[in-house]
Structure 1
Amino acid sequence: MENQIQRKPKILCLHGFRTSAAILKKLIGRWPETLLKKLDLVFINAPYPAQGKSDVEGIYDPPYYEWFQSNQDFTEYYNFEECLAYLEDYMMKNGTFDGVLGFSQGAILAAALPGMQLEGVALTKIPNIKFLIIISGAKFGGSKFGLPKLAANAFSSPVKCPSLHLIGEMDFMKQEGASLLESFEDPVVINHPQGHTIPRLDEKSLETMLDFIEKTQKMPLHEE
């Protein structure tokens, strides 16, 4: 009981495809203050300017970015290694991160990070990621997305990293998000009625999330 003042978990937040850090920050900013005040959220733009039209044009201001590129049927990926190097470099230069939160393309990337880190093929110069928050995620190697070479074994054994998954009833990625759960050991799930978005949290969802964060705080957080 002696050390009641806990450091807030520092979380790297990865935005969706052809959006931006500013957009994700705005959407997550709608979450209740009771949750936000417990987190140290760091929002980062993906390394590549959008190479095509963004779905959020006319809703949110540009510029828009993407984490990596792929061919039409998601069987070949480009700039994936460079993207991981960019993330690692950012995490080395900006203090130690405890967790990663990702939405959409950012969530697909986030979900594969602990497995790649365990394999020793990515993020080898930084401490292990301690937990994930996956919003509208999917799995590399699942029904829709092929496997980038570096992520070939990311899900070869169940991912032990504690994870919280937010899955939307009306989300076109709902099925992929649900099947991603099978790759994680004891995933915590929040089902919400919305679509492909950062959902507003009702009382029950907020409680689940606060509980998850509290559990991560009981894990020894990385020292700066």
Structure 2
Amino acid sequence: MQNKKKILCLHGNGANKEFHTYQLRQFSKEFNDLEFVTLDGPIPISRNVHVSQVVIPPNFAKMIENKPLYTWGNFLKLDNNNIDAIFQESIDYVIKVLKEQGPFYGVLGFSQGSAVAVRLATLLVEKKVDLGYELQCFIFSSGSMMTLSERRLFFCKMPSIHLIGINDFLYDRSLGLSSQFLNPLVIIHDQGHKIPFLNRQQIQLLKQFFNKEKDIWQQQIHVPKL
């Protein structure tokens, strides 16, 4: 029996791996050859942070109200507007997991989790991190473009999928993130700030992506259909 290709999945701010697994239930059902491995962020959120302060749809809020919640950003580390410092602890943590539990096929980041994922992608392309193997893709849902001045003109040569919601408050920033990657596969959906429930055509696009080799994918140009 062939082993499934593993994708490490990073949840949004104020969530946990159990909730993220629920968010990814359609993906787990549709992509039988992939294993979506969820991971708690390394920074616990104090229980005095009410669930209403977390960016999660109200109908899902009760699922995590009495559960431990985590984040990827330590804003106590913010120094001179150095956003990377906020996520450094999480980046080191994710790299450790990728090395110890790898090889992984790719990394998926939702919302704040995508902030960690995009910084990891940049470090890999710049060869500042060596996992001992190559990741084949990155997947971003409700992601945000890099805002650091020295990276505004940086194009990440890594196969990427961008799930972008028309009704997401991060819509513009998600489009901006896709423009910072070479040959991104952009899927526009009509939902909000969430991991979307995709239609059959969108599922087929993703299956085509996963069935192609990395080198072949980089030779093709993909234009999003709005």
2:211 is matched with which residue: 214, 219, 223?
214
Structure 1 residue identity aligned to 2:8: L
Secondary structure at 1:215 match in 2: coil
Greater CA deviation, 6-15 or 162-171? 6-15
Structure 2 residue identity aligned to 1:65: Y
Moved runs in structure 1, 4+ residues, more than 4 A? 152-156, 216-219
Tell me: CA distance 1:102–1:111, structure 2 relative to 1, closer, same or farther (3 Å): same
- Show the 5 A alignment for 1:1-224: 7-31=3-27, 33-35=29-31, 37-51=32-46, 52-53=49-50, 54-56=54-56, 58-61=61-64, 62-70=67-75, 75-77=81-83, 78-121=85-128, 123-141=129-147, 147=148, 156-216=153-213
Residue 106 (structure 1) shift: 0.7
| Contact 1:21 1:44 (C-alpha < 8 Å) held by counterparts | yes
Q: Distance in 2 between matches of 1:135 and 1:31?
A: 13
Q: Distance in 2 between matches of 1:157 and 1:76?
A: 18
Q: Which runs of 5+ in 2 are unaligned?
A: 217-226
Higher helix fraction (1 or 2): 2
Q: Distance in 1 between matches of 2:36 and 2:111?
A: 17
Q: Distance in 2 between matches of 1:111 and 1:15?
A: 14
| Contact 1:12 1:100 (C-alpha < 8 Å) held by counterparts | yes
RMSD: 2.7
What TM-score results when the alignment is normalised by the length of structure 2? 0.79
User: Aligned pair count?
Assistant: 203
Secondary structure at 2:212 match in 1: helix
Q: Which runs of 5+ in 1 are unaligned?
A: 142-146, 220-224
